[in-house]
Structure 1
Amino acid sequence: MATQSRRGRAYGRPVARAQRAATSLHTSLYRATGGRLGGRLAGGPVLLLTTKGRKSGRERTVPLLYLPDGEDLVLVASNGGTAAHPMWLLNLRAQPAATVEVGEKSLRVRAREASPGEKERLWPRLVEMYGGYESYQQKTDRPIPVVILHPANDERPSGA
């Protein structure tokens, strides 16, 4: 096997299984209560992001912290500081159309990665919301992408 940096190592199988189970439970509780349970985590608001699997074509839902920015919703693709991007980011890169649930409201969105200038503007607010993002960035060699979700029914040009 090729030499690999130990920074941002992937989680082992038991941790990955536990993470999938926790995600499933969190999603179920969030939906059953309209976000009253699971709608906040580590002091920040949580949404449910549903993407289309880039290989399987199946819908995948994950709970994620988000930062409201005007009508946009901002996500951090930290994956806990591991060396690999989260699957939801790879799915959005292949198919930027997605759905989010915020409380009881469902919204179609279109995703794009923040420009360097947007990331520079948003990063301090994201770290203020959840300080773990800064330690995740320090744990990994990959730049952690910031993703902007914009309501799909608005025809405003990307990046405007």
Structure 2
Amino acid sequence: MTENPPKVPPRWFIRSAWVVHRALYRFSRGRFGLRRPRPDRWGMMRLTTTGRRTGQERHVILAYFEDGPNIITMAMNGWAAAEPAWWLNLKAHPDAIAQLPGQRRTVSVRAAEGEERERLWARWREFGDDIDGYAKLRQNQTAVVVLEPRPELSRKDVT
């Protein structure tokens, strides 16, 4: 028996949903658009990166869960083949800001590898989404991204 791959909405729909979600967050001044994770559901955070070419701030809203002090997300780009721009930005500039509901964290970012990646990928499976089916739609392995806390810089350290 051949298992049917999961259905993915058209790309224009996914991109429109992202635009609406960011607008909801922005116009509500952060009151709507983010949520804490629960045992049966991932949360939503806003991640601020530095553009790899422009050096300007870039914002994206991503699914996440917490693993001890770390925040875990996936570089999936709506399950499209290309790597998401925010992930490419983080590869060039791994320091970022994660805005969680009621909390802001400065983080340094890396891809999980080996046993750690398998453990975190298994945790994503617990949310009930068919991530394995969706991942098969991509040519490359989907990165599991670990956002590790880093100390805030004082104003005098920032140039």
TM-score (norm 1): 0.77
| Closer/same/farther in 2, CA of residues 126 and 151 from structure 1, 3 Å limit | same
1:89 corresponding residue in structure 2: 87
1:69 corresponding residue in structure 2: 67
Report the Cα offset of residue 16 of structure 1.
6.3
Select which of 21, 24, 27 maps to 2:22. Answer: 24
1:104 corresponding residue in structure 2: 102
| Closer/same/farther in 2, CA of residues 29 and 128 from structure 1, 3 Å limit | farther
Report the Cα offset of residue 18 of structure 1.
1.4
1:123 corresponding residue in structure 2: 121
Report the Cα offset of residue 25 of structure 1.
2.0
The one-letter amino acid paired with 2:68 is G
The one-letter amino acid paired with 1:97 is D
8 A contact 2:49–2:89 mirrored in 1: yes
8 A contact 1:50–1:100 mirrored in 2: yes
1:148 aligns with 2:146: yes
Q: Equivalent pairs: percent with the same residue?
A: 31
Report the Cα offset of residue 95 of structure 1.
0.2
| Closer/same/farther in 2, CA of residues 40 and 72 from structure 1, 3 Å limit | closer
2:155 corresponding residue in structure 1: none
8 A contact 1:30–1:39 mirrored in 2: no
Report the Cα offset of residue 44 of structure 1.
1.7
What do the CA deviations read for 1:40-96 (whole angstroms, capped 9, x no partner)?
699321111100111111111111111100000001111122110111100000000
Which runs of no fewer than 5 residues in structure 1 stay unpaired?
Answer: 1-10, 155-160
User: Secondary structure of the equivalent of 2:86?
Assistant: helix
User: Secondary structure of the equivalent of 1:22?
Assistant: helix
CA–CA distance in 2 between the matches of 1:47 and 1:130?
A: 19
The one-letter amino acid paired with 2:108 is R
8 A contact 2:45–2:62 mirrored in 1: yes
8 A contact 1:39–1:45 mirrored in 2: yes
User: Secondary structure of the equivalent of 1:32?
Assistant: coil
User: Secondary structure of the equivalent of 1:112?
Assistant: strand
Report the Cα offset of residue 124 of structure 1.
1.0
2:47 corresponding residue in structure 1: 49
CA–CA distance in 2 between the matches of 1:93 and 1:47?
A: 19
User: Secondary structure of the equivalent of 1:148?
Assistant: strand
